[in-house]
């Protein structure tokens, strides 16, 4: 069991590490579905690369997917609007729907198209290899280093956008930097865990964290702890009962969120 589960567990913890941090920004910005949108754009890129004859794990397929994701990041960075009814979340939904439709259309032209779409949705984290883990870890480390250097600007824009605007920051430029880095992470993540699992890693730990605490350091601590425990539980349940790993992880994260809401209702006076 240890030999089989060690690689997926390490991969899950790496995913939780980067997505738990990014999820804080996504929840604070109020663009909950940006992950689904960029993940689906990444999936569209992978599907296009497969149709062109490139192996799913090849450098060419990854490059095409990153390119598609950067285009999506640019679209999201210019979609910051100030309108009473037209929100950025609505435009993010359009990107997601269009990318989903494009993925289905391209997959229909490829051999094993339906299986390919299923793999992109739920991932194959149980069969992740150590070479994939090392390669993904290096990408995340590079992105993490950039975020460390720019973390004050990113947190200010995410948590205090009015302050950033008042100081004359070029918000659309910084949004493109943020979403571009985010897109690179998502592209790597989708290839391992799939769209639905990546969304769970990104959003649910951050939502739980915001329910209980508010400072950046505590938000990160709670998000990482919740994400790690939920990922471990999902992997163990999947292995123990021989169930599809991706869906089990998603359901486990959802159960954690429901439990957190229930605990919050039972402790309305908890410190935030």
CATH number of domain containing 11: 1.10.3470.10
The predicted model scores a pTM of: 0.85
- Region at 30 (left for phi over 0; alpha for psi -120 to 50; beta for the rest): left
145 occurs within a structural domain: yes
61/67 Cα distance (integer angstroms): 10
Residue 271 placed within a domain? no
Work out the number of other CB atoms within 10 angstroms of the CB of residue 76: 26
Residue 168 carries which DSSP code? Answer: T
Does residue 174 fall inside a structural domain?
yes
247 falls within a domain: yes
> Is residue 14 a part of any domain in this protein?
yes
55 falls within a domain: yes
**Residue 251 to residue 84: CA distance in whole angstroms:** 35
Do the Cβ atoms of 203 and 23 come closer than 8 Å? Answer: yes
H-state helical runs in 123-242: 130-159, 161-166, 171-193, 195-212, 216-241
What range does the domain containing 248 cover?
2-266
* Residue 272 located in a structural domain: no
Which value, in Å, is the radius of gyration of the alpha carbons in the chain?
18
- Asked if 68 and 48 count as a contact pair (C-beta separation under 8 A), the reply is yes
Q: How far apart are CA 207 and CA 264, in angstroms?
A: 12
The count of structural domains within the chain is 1
Answer whether residue 150 is part of any domain.
yes
pLDDT in tens, the chain (272 residues): 566 788 999 999 999 999 999 999 999 988 888 888 888 898 888 888 888 888 777 888 889 999 999 998 888 887 666 655 567 777 888 888 898 898 888 888 866 656 666 677 777 788 889 999 999 999 999 999 999 999 989 999 988 888 988 888 888 889 899 999 998 998 888 888 888 899 999 999 999 999 989 888 999 999 999 999 999 999 999 988 988 888 999 999 999 999 999 998 887 665 44
């Amino acid at each position: 069991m240890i030999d089989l589960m060690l690689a997926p567990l390490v991969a899950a913890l790496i995913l939780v590490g980067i997505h738990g941090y990014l999820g804080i920004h996504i929840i604070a910005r109020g663009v909950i579905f940006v992950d689904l949108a960029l993940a689906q754009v990444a999936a569209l890129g992978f599907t296009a690369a497969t149709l062109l004859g490139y192996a799913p794990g090849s450098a060419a397929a990854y490059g095409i997917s990153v390119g598609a994701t950067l285009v999506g990041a640019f679209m999201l960075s210019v979609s910051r609007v100030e309108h009473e009814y037209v929100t950025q979340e609505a435009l993010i939904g359009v990107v997601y729907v269009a990318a989903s439709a494009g993925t289905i259309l391209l997959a229909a032209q490829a051999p094993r198209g339906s299986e390919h779409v299923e793999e992109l949705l739920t991932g194959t984290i149980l069969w992740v290899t150590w070479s994939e883990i090392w390669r993904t870890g290096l990408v995340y480390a590079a992105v993490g280093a950039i975020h460390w250097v720019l973390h004050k600007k990113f947190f200010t824009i995410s948590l205090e956008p009015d302050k950033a605007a008042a100081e004359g920051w070029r918000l659309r430029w910084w949004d493109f930097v943020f979403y571009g880095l985010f897109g690179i992470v998502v592209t790597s993540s989708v290839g391992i865990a799939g769209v639905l699992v990546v969304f769970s890693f990104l959003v649910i730990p951050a939502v739980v964290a915001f329910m209980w605490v508010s400072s950046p350091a505590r938000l990160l601590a709670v998000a990482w702890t919740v994400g790690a425990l939920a990922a471990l539980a999902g992997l163990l349940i999947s292995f123990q009962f021989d169930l599809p790993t991706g869906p089990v992880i998603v359901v486990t994260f959802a159960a954690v969120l429901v439990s957190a809401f229930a605990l919050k209702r039972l402790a309305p006076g908890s410190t935030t």
